[in-house]
Structure formats: structure tokens, C-alpha cells
Amino acid sequence: MIPEPLDQARVESLKGVGPALAGKLARIGISNLQDVLFHLPLRYEDRTRITPIGAAQLGSTIVIEGQVVACEIAFGKRRSLLAYVQDNTGTIALRFYHFSKAQQNNLKNAPSIRCYGEVRRGAAGYEIYHPEYSTKLDMLEDRLTPIYPVTEGVTQQRYRTMVKQVLQLMSEGKVLRNLGSEHQLLSKVDINTAIDLVHNPSPETELSQLQEGIHPAQKRLAFEELLAHHLSMRLIRQEMLSLQGIALPMPASTYKQLITEFGFELTKAQLKVASEISLDMNKSVPMLRLLQGDVGSGKTVIAAMASVHASESQYQAAIMAPTEILAEQHFINFSNWLNPLGIETVWLSGKVKGKKREEHLGIIGSGNARVVIGTHALFQNDVVFKNLGLVIIDEQHRFGVHQRLALREKGEYNGVLPHQLVMTATPIPRTLTMSLYADMDCSVIDELPPGRSPITTSVLADNRREEVIDRIESACSSGAQAYWVCTLIDDSEVIQCQAAESTAEQLTSLLPEIEIGLIHGRMSANDKTKVMSEFKMGSIDLLVATTVIEVGVDVPNASLMVIENPERLGLAQLHQLRGRIGRGSTKSFCVLLYHPPLGELSKQRLNVMRESQDGFFIAEQDLQIRGPGELFGSRQSGVMQFKLADLLRDNHMLKDVRLLADDLLASDRTTAFAIMDRWLTMPEKLSQV
């Protein structure tokens, strides 16, 4: 009997998988048996051997076995149950903050116990907090234990049982197809061997190799995954090139007039990029261009020029910014530049409601509003443009390829697609650009406008906070303006905002002479606008802020910035934040006020900030020190998420990935699609190509 391909068998065919579980699995993109296998472990645990207690190392996660020699309640800050476990090499304490009377008795009376957990240092010496434990000594595994990224309602245990069943089917001959195996990197390891190994590693497998993702089986899979991503972007690109765009005549008089409105000479780099863009917009293929330019390099004027180009040919331009503050600021700038040219500019965000919204939607729909600026609210269903010719997305590092696709669909009218310009200040090392943005053309603004004075950055421990406050006071008293940025790693916006609020209160009472403002994400749009414009006008001297000011905010007179807890931010983010100062001609200072003690890596990273102001250099360094995941930051991870591949570690594969993609796209599209199907949750549009 010919084995049925695994991608044709649904998850319901597994034992223990009913409609409810299948529904939960579908939510994470798992619907057939092949999907089950390509949902890869995040990491591994070694529960195959017992570590002698005396050999337990701080920070390691181990199985131990011994006798419970004492069991008592400890009264510290919080009541806890402590059980001391001893073998013939030493003693270790188990600590439970949540425990029941029954559990206490059970532990006390257990002759011996086996448990699993991480070794930490506690009040009683080495301790394991809330270990998994069993008094029946049945916990040793004969394989390394994979830990899967799972979703609510699907436990590790459940998932492992499913994987085991599919691996069993594979061993009975229902195998995965080796795809693209003419290629050396894919033929070295059979796909079935590779998949079996990552799900079911034998105890001899080098755990550290697996954890780092450098086992040959993992390399084989990483290569295929990179290939899948690259193929999908290349296909998006091909599809774009086959679409109908709007060939706009080359820019004319209002465009030239606009340039005089700016009141400064464009830099060489700006002129070059502007002409690349107008040439693109002159073609009947929709533009899809990424504009990279370091913080402060002057991308906004480029956006204004492109908008005027569209408007001259009676088309509309939409500019989307990631935050209200930034959208508002663009609106003010654009109005100043475009109103004198007779171009109507309108503003739309989620906070524009009721009659006002109706009114704005009306002028957008009539086509009278030539330039429309806003947040993602621009792309809601009730926003209908008359003739959208250009979409500009500012600070795009927050949007991944899927969002790019979604936006593209929004802009489509009668089969004609608007031009798209995507701008980012997150410098992406060249080596990565081709992989991350294979679906786009790239332009770079590689020089700053003249007359910027460099920023002096110092790295200080927060026990020198008072000194810093004094410095701010004297600077502000003599006319300077400053930012005080409160950062917290805590994802909770509420807590972030509270921290900013209490810092503002504290600084206000310490510095009564200084006008202090506060801005954070939980304030109303009106309040934010009010504070920003007061800061811009100079009636606020010191602006206490959360990272809401991270992107785009432009107040040239501000020349000082204090960043609290900089060690908790990615370098790209710090660079963005710091880019808010050094925009005028006065000398600027940035103080990175860290909380000691600082680890070695953090020290290195803050030194990079002190030594350089070059976004590309900083990005390369961050990539070296921490890897791409951190470079893009967790919030920005929409950029590209891999199951196994790692753009830094697997960088050397990218050239071969591109070559093989060329081959497959030219001569074997069926295989190309089969590879994408394994690895990607496919955007529907793409599957029609």
C-alpha cells in the first residue's frame, strides 16, 4: 500500500485528537500531520539522568534523587515550605510558596523523592523552587525532552503524545518527501532523519549543540526554513511586478516649489533617493520601495516630496505612522509645507470620532483631501479613498511582511495598485536586508544634514541620579530643553506610565523652577498633542516620557536626554530614543543612567552607545553581541519569525538560499510551493500566484 502523504492526513486521525483540540491546534496553524512535525521544539530538557546533589550547579536544570531528611515551614517575607533532600553526596532544599497540608505530609513521610527543576541560590543555600517531583521515582526519560511552543489548552504532554504517534507513522513508512534534494545542503541529511532527531533526540545527542541550534539535523531544517521564507518574498515580488500600477508623470512645478518651502538644501543622499522614488512612480509597475535612513537623516521631507508628486497628478497619498504622536507631528509639518501649495491635508486616527470623523471621511472620499495622514486607522474598512496613488508607511520596522501584504490589499482599486514607500530608521545590516526585504527595492539615505553637532553620551550608575538632576536644572535654567525617559522592561503599559508619573512628580518637587511636562501612552490624544506642542514651543523645559517618544519625534531645540534603565533596552531602540536629540546646532548630551550591577554584555552594549552614533555600526554590534532577535526587539518581532533559523547564526547559508531559490523559481515551482507549505502559514494571496 502506498503511504498516504502526511500532509493529506488531518490531525483528527490521531488518537486523542477530537474536534475541540483540533480547533485549538488550527489556531496555531496545525491542521495536518505534516504541520504537527514542523511545529518545532523551542528548547530541550535533560531528564535522562540523575545528577548527584553534590554536583548540582547553580543555574542548571537537573533531576535529583534522595531522601527527605527534614521538612519545615520557613517564615520569611513570605511563608514557605522547605524540604531538605539528601543523597550520599550532599543536601539541597526544595522550596514551595504555594503548598497544601497534604503536600506537606506527603513530603515529610516520603522515604525518597525524585525531582526536577532549576538550581538557585536561596536562604538555605542551593534550592529548587517549586520543582516537579514524584515520590514514586518514575520520572526518568530515555530521551531528551523537547519543549514546544504551545497554545492554551494544548499541554506539553498532549503535544508530545501527538508527535510520538506521527513519528511512529513515519517509522512505518509514511515518510516526508525530501524536497530540493539535488542541492547539497538539503541532501546531506534526510528530512525524515532530521525531523525525527529534533523531536526525539537520543540521550547521546549533544544537548548544548541542540540548544544552540547547530546540530546537523537542525542546520538542514534551518536551511529549508530560510529557503521557504525567501521563496515567499520572491513570489510576492514577482507578483507585484506583474501588477498594474499608475504611471505618474514626472514631478513638475509644485514639487519644485515644495523644495523651496523647506528652507534648507537637500542633502546629496536625499536628492538621490528622491529621484529614485519619482522614477519608480513614473512606471506602470507599482513601486515597492524600502527607504532606510538613520535617525534624523531627513526621511520626512522625502515623504512630503513623494506625496506632492502623487498630488500633482490628481492622486491621493496616505501616510501611516505607528503612533498618534508621530502622525500628529507629520500632520503639522505636512500642513506647513503643503498648504501654501494649495494641497489639502487631512488627519485621521482612531481618536478622531463622531461628526469630525464623518467630515474627514467625506473629504477623503471626495478626493479633496490629497494627502491623508494618520495611524493604522487609515486602513479601516470605512475609510474609502477616491483615488489612492501612493501609500507611505513610516517607521516600518514595526510591520512584518504579512502586514505589508494586508496593506497592499487595502490599497487596491479596480485591479490597480498604489505605489508604496516604506521608511525605517532601524538600520539593518546589509547582509540581512536582502533576506528580510527580498520583496522590495531598497534606498538608503547615508548622510545626515549638515550642521548637526555630535551627541556626547555618558554612562552613569543611578546612584549619581542627583548629580544628573542638578545638571538638568542648570541646563534648563539657561534655556535648554530636555527629555527624561522612563523605561521598564515590564510589558504592562500601566506600570510604565505609573513610573513616568511618579518620576514627573518627584522631579517637579525637586526642581520647582523648571517647567516639567509628562507624556505617556495612556493619556488622551488631546492631552498628548497639547503636551507635545507646549514642548515644541518651549513652554515645557523638561519632558518626562515613556518610550512613546521613541520614534520620529522632532523637537530640534531639545539637547539633553536622560534614559533610565538603558540596560534593559535593545541598542536599536536606544539609538532611536537618543536620536530625539542632536537635531539642532547646539551641543547635545545623553546620559544613560543604569542600575548597577551591570553584567558584562550590558557593559559592552552601553559602551557601543557611548562610542558610536552611527546606526549601522550600532546595529552590527548589537547583532554581534546579542543576535537578531534582540536587534529587532520583542515588540518588533513581527519582522520575521523563524521556528529554528537564526539570521545571525545561519547567515552563511543565505547566499545558497538565494541561489537555490533562483533555481526552484525558474524550473520547479511545485517544489517551491511544497517547501513553503511546510514552513509557512501562507498568506492566501500568495497561494494564487
Considering only 66, 286, 296, 570, the residue that binds ligand ADP (CB under 6 A) is 296
Instruction: Establish if 460 lies at the interface with ligand ADP (CB under 6 A).
Output: no
Q: For residues 486-502, b (16+ Cβ closer than 10 Å) or e, as one string?
A: bbbeeeeeeebbbbbbe
Comparing CA positions, the residue from 64, 91, 95 lying closest to residue 79 is 95
Does residue 281 belong to the site contacting ligand ADP (CB under 6 A)?
no
Mode of pairing for the β-strands spanning 455-461 and 588-594: parallel
Q: Which residue is nearest to ligand ADP (CB)?
A: 298
| Site stretch for ligand ADP (CB under 6 A), options 24-32, 265-273, 603-611, 627-635 | 265-273
Query: Does residue 522 contact residue 548 with C-beta atoms inside 8 Å?
Result: no
CB of 267 to ligand ADP, least distance (A): 5
- Using CA atoms, how far apart are residues 274 and 474, in angstroms rounded to an integer? 42
Judge whether 392 and 346 are in contact, CB under 8 Å. no
Q: Which of 353, 413, 408, 404 is nearest to 385 (CA)?
A: 413
**Beta strands 125-129; 516-519: pairing state:** unpaired
CB of 445 to ligand ADP, least distance (A): 7
Contact pattern for ligand ADP over residues 44 through 83, marking x by CB under 6 A: ----------------------------------------
Site string for ligand ADP, 378-417 (x = CB under 6 A): ----------------------------------------
Q: Does position 270 bind ligand ADP by CB under 6 A?
A: yes
Query: What is the nearest approach in angstroms of Mg ion to the Cβ of residue 300?
Result: 5
Q: DSSP labels for 59-113? A: T-EEEEEEEEEEEEEEESSSEEEEEEEEETTEEEEEEESS--HHHHHHHHH-S-E
Angstrom CA distances, 471 to 478, 504, 593, 607, 689, stand at: 11, 16, 13, 22, 61
Q: Which is nearer to ligand ADP, 554 or 646 (CB)?
A: 554
Q: Which does 266 bind (CB under 5 to 8 A by kind): ligand ADP, Mg ion, none?
A: ligand ADP
> Is the separation of the CB atoms in 28 and 34 below 8 Å?
no
Q: Which is nearer to ligand ADP, 180 or 615 (CB)?
A: 615
By CB under 6 A, the count of residues binding ligand ADP is: 19
CB closer to Mg ion, 297 vs 559: 297
Angle at 435 between CA 430 and CA 438, to 5 degrees: 105
Among 41, 213, 245, 293, binds ligand ADP (CB under 6 A): 293
User: Which CB, 266 or 405, lies closer to ligand ADP?
Assistant: 266
Nearer to ligand ADP, 540 or 581 (CB): 581
Determine the Cα–Cα distance for residues 356 and 362; give it in Å rounded to an integer: 10
3-state secondary structure at position 200: coil
Residues 6+ apart with CB under 8 A from 202: 143, 144
Of 104-112, 396-404, 457-465, 548-556, the window that binds ligand ADP (rule: CB under 6 A) is 548-556
How far is Cα 630 from Cα 572, in angstroms, rounded to an integer? 9
Q: Are 247 and 283 in contact (CB under 8 A)?
A: yes
At which residue does the C-alpha cell 530515555 appear?
142
Query: Residue 97, interface with ligand ADP (CB under 6 A)?
Result: no
Which partner from the list Mg ion, ligand ADP, none does 405 bind, CB cut-off 5 to 8 Å by kind? Answer: none
- DSSP class of residue 464 equals G
Contact between 274 and ligand ADP per CB under 6 A: no
Cell of 157: 504532554
Q: Does 297 bind ligand ADP (CB under 6 A)?
A: yes
Among 222-230, 260-268, 458-466, 506-514, the segment contacting ligand ADP (CB under 6 A) = 260-268
Closer residue to ligand ADP (CB): 91 or 612? 612
- Rounded Cα distance, 93 and 136, in Å: 19
Using the minimum distance from each CB to ligand ADP, give the nearer residue, 449 or 521. Answer: 449
Residues 6+ apart with CB under 8 A from 610: 457, 458, 459, 592
556 binds ligand ADP (CB under 6 A): yes
User: For residues 313 and 576, which CB has a smaller minimum distance to ligand ADP in the complex?
Assistant: 576
Of residues 263 and 415, the one with the C-beta less far from Mg ion = 263
Q: Mind giving me the DSSP string for 514-569?
A: S-EEEE-TTS-HHHHHHHHHHHHHTS-SEEEE-GGGSSS---TTEEEEEEESGGGS
- For ligand ADP, the binding residue among 72, 264, 380, 641 (CB under 6 A) is 264
Question: Choosing among ligand ADP, Mg ion, none, which partner's interface includes residue 554 (Cβ < 5 to 8 Å by kind)?
Answer: ligand ADP
E runs forming strands in 123-208: 125-129, 132-134, 145-147
Question: Per rule CB under 6 A, is residue 427 in the interface with ligand ADP?
Answer: no
Contact window for ligand ADP (CB under 6 A) among 49-57, 246-254, 552-560, 679-687: 552-560
Among residues 22, 32, 50, 30, the alpha carbon closest in space to that of 148 is found at: 30
Which of the listed partners (ligand ADP, Mg ion, none) does 556 bind, with a CB threshold of 5 to 8 Å by partner kind?
ligand ADP
Position with the least CB separation from Mg ion: 552
Could you tell me the smallest distance in angstroms from the CB atom of residue 295 to ligand ADP?
5
- Find the binder of ligand ADP among 554, 614, 646, 668 (CB under 6 A): 554
The binding site for Mg ion (CB under 5 A) comprises 299, 552
- Residues at the interface with ligand ADP (CB under 6 A): 264-267, 270, 293, 295-301, 425, 449, 552, 554, 556, 583
